[in-house]
Chains A and B, each alone.
Chain A
Amino acid sequence: MHNLGTVIRFEIGRTLKKKSFWLAALAIPVVAVFVGVIIFFSNKTTDEQSQNLAKEQFTIGITDESHLISPKLLESVHARPIATPQEGEQAVKSGQLDAYFHYPKDISKDTVSVRGKNVGLFKNGRYEDLAGQLLKQSVSAKTNPGVATVLQGSTKFNSLTYTSDGQVDKGFLNVIAPGVFLVLFYFMIATFGSQILTSITEEKENRVIEMILATIKPTTLLVGKLFSVISLAFIQMFVILIPTIVGYLFFKDQLALPNLDLSTLPLDPTAIGLGAVIFMVSFLLFTGILMTLGAAMPTAKEAGGFMGGVFALLFGPLYAAPLFVTSPDSTIVQFLSYFPLTAPIPLLLRNAVGNLPLHEALIAIGILLLTTLIVISIGVRIFKFGALEYSRKLSMKEVMGRKS
């Protein structure tokens, strides 16, 4: 692989110099920051409004035919009793009262009437909230604390399930570490698919291929390009992740983000290892397929037309995602897991949820590896013979028919 380093440095260097690369890489964290700022100010405004609402005093009249409302509570909100609903409604209409609540004799059958002065679409809800709170707190005060907790829906649960070896199962947390590879795979292919095609067809489109092929081996050029694209994908991922992590660490409270305690995250080395291997082989296979597609087509634009088919095979199994979790032994799941063009998503997903046995994983990885080798060798052959086909697609018969 003479000159491989030169090719990789050139490919990475010139991409990093492009504004479009940085714009694409920084767009995601910039959008995330923008959304975060909006959430932050929205939360801040909502909090301020809630506090203002709490402080706000308004005059209330109440007719309590149910006798459920605590007089002490009525006193605390300065509510005055009103004889009839008509009188209360009239008082609100005339502006003598801000709000009036009528609790009927049997609230299980009749509705509680809430009348209030219009204070705007978002603030008008305060009347019904207060009417409900008065009822809930009054009833709770009359029962024991346990019943009150159930009534208020604030019962706390502590659930544990145990695995066959008596260990505590960590539930959804188990999925996170191996599941990262699924997300990573999706991101890498979706982001870099078209870049692989452009990179492979560039020399043909620019007519520089003949000079290049007289200087370096086609395998060196292709492998160099593959390494460059993979390296650039990781660089772009870090460009996205670093500001995201920094943003989370410094602004998680302001953005009301959940507290992620990574120390409790289960790390199963086998699942993580398998996830990493499946991810790498799958990524290599699909970059190889895209590379072969680019080598066979005269332009990236024409190759792009076929990329949809590749993506359909690759991401199509996502529609059967529930099956991968609930019926891992079904024929369709087994087929999708072993067929190399559909295998990455089922394998990564099943590995994440913990229903991919080691022997199945190893067989599937073997099939993926073998397919990758075949695809890349066909890609190199197509690139070699199709290099000077500037305006014509190569047929498989032509490629395989030529002697090397």
Chain B
Amino acid sequence: MNKAVPLVTIDHFRMDFGKKTVIKDLSFTINKGETFGLLGSNGSGKTTTIRALLGIYMATGGQLRIDGKPYEVDGSVKLGYLPEERGLYKKEKVIDIMIYFGQLKGMARAHAKEWSLDFLKRVDLENEAQTRLDKLSGGMQQKIQVGIAVMGDPTLLILDEPAKGFDPVNRRLLMDIIEEHQDQGATVIFVTHQMEEVERLCDRILLLKDGESRLYGTVDEVKDEFGGMVLEIVSESPVPKNDKLYSYQRREGNVTLLEPKADLLAIQRSLLSAGVAYSRFELKRPSLDDIFVEIYGKHAKEEN
């Protein structure tokens, strides 16, 4: 795995829909073999970027390349794509749909069938191979779609909100499948709002806001760029504002996040004198979740 070799290059990408500019001027690269997180609130332009990268949308400006060329369905890159807007042929049998997509991805029919049956067994759907898709639950259909996305050993796996609609058990299963493809050397683009998973899986991330790159780099680089350490205080009573000692970030439940400006001891003394009894007083790096909320606001997090 050579992380220095770019596989996806997006250079001054601009996208207009009529008079509305969705992406202003976006540039980033994704290296071969890395797992890349594309993050942002609803409407920030993540899915538009992916669709333009795959040629489903025509970019208004700039260049979007995979392996040095605009994406071609029959080009050198083996693509696995799980779009945000999902669906399959509802009236067809599960196995027939999987074989069809396998063949479209260049697999021989027999191989596609064998692979599909193995996958169905793995996700506890082996008895549903001959079932019509519309007879399955939404969660079961999601598993089939994930299976179709990862079939054919993709070298580039693009997953747009892959965990949407999964319960925690199946989310774990999904993450295992993604990790397997990472281990096999696939490049993974992960569009998600699940920050814990991003922290665990992604080598580098890009946060989009209003069609522009807000933060870009490794998870640690992004945390550093965002502004260093935060002070987390767990207390029953609210923490009063004090612009000299700290800047107040937010309070969720009984957890208050502050950005310290002064000595921690001074802050502790000020809290005690204000009658704030805390059970935790910890200086830590902000989580991606904290950064996300800070950038997009609490409402965006709740929406997502």
Contacts and interface: CB of A to CB of B under 8 A. Distances in A.
Contacts of B85: 207, 210, 388, 390
B89 A214 contact: no
Nearest to A11: B100
Contacts, number: 73
Interface in B48-95: 51, 54-58, 73-74, 79, 81-83, 85-92
A217 interface: yes
A10 interface: yes
**In this complex, which of A6, A13, A403 has the most chain B Cβ atoms within 10 angstroms of its Cβ?**
A6
A6 B104 contact: yes
B18 to A, nearest CB: 8
A213 B100 contact: no
A211 B83 contact: yes
Contacts of B79: 214-215
Contacts of A156: none
Contact of A206 (B56, B83, B88, B103): B88
Contact of B86 (A7, A207, A387): A207
Contacts of A109: none
B166 interface: no
Contact of A216 (B73, B91, B96): B73
B27 to A, nearest CB: 21
B58 A403 contact: yes
Which label, helix, strand, loop or mixed, suits the secondary structure of the B interface? loop
Interface string A3-14: 100110010011
A214 B103 contact: no
Contacts of A214: 54, 56, 73, 79, 81, 83
A208 interface: yes
Contacts of B103: 3, 6, 10
B181 interface: no
A208 B91 CA distance: 13
A404 interface: yes
B88 A208 contact: yes
Contact of A14 (B56, B73, B82, B92): B92
A214 B103 CA distance: 14
A208 B73 contact: no
Interface string B112-142: 0000000000000000000000000000000
B104 A402 contact: no
B159 interface: no
Contacts of B51: 210, 388
B92 to A, nearest CB: 6
A217 B89 contact: no
Interface residues of B, number: 29
Nearest to B60: A403
B30 interface: no
B232 to A, nearest CB: 41
A208 B87 contact: yes
Contacts of B101: 211, 215
Given A214-B81, A215-B101, A207 B96 contact: no
Which label, helix, strand, loop or mixed, suits the secondary structure of the A interface? loop
B81 A404 contact: no
**In this complex, which of B87, B89, B91 has the most chain A Cβ atoms within 10 angstroms of its Cβ?**
B87
Interface in B13-31: none
A216 B75 CA distance: 11
B96 to A, nearest CB: 7
A208 B74 CA distance: 19
Interface in B225-243: none
A359 interface: no
B105 interface: yes
B56 A213 contact: yes
A206 B73 contact: no
Contacts of A207: 85-87
Contacts of A216: 73, 104
Contact of B87 (A206, A215, A387, A404): A206
Given A202-B89, A215-B101, A210 B73 contact: no
A206 B100 CA distance: 16
Nearest to A217: B73
A101 to B, nearest CB: 72
A2 interface: yes
B56 A2 contact: no
A210 B104 contact: no
Contact of B81 (A2, A14, A211, A217): A211
A87 B103 CA distance: 95
**In this complex, which of A14, A202, A215, A402 has the most chain B Cβ atoms within 10 angstroms of its Cβ?**
A215
Nearest to A14: B92
A80 B134 CA distance: 84
Given A214-B56, A214-B73, 13 more contacts: A2-B73, A7-B104, A14-B92, A14-B96, A210-B51, A210-B81, A211-B81, A213-B73, A214-B79, A215-B101, A385-B58, A388-B57, A403-B58
Interface of A: 2-3, 6-7, 10, 13-14, 202, 206-208, 210-217, 385, 387-388, 390, 402-404
12 contacts: A3-B104, A10-B96, A13-B96, A206-B87, A207-B85, A207-B87, A208-B89, A211-B149, A214-B81, A215-B105, A216-B73, A388-B57
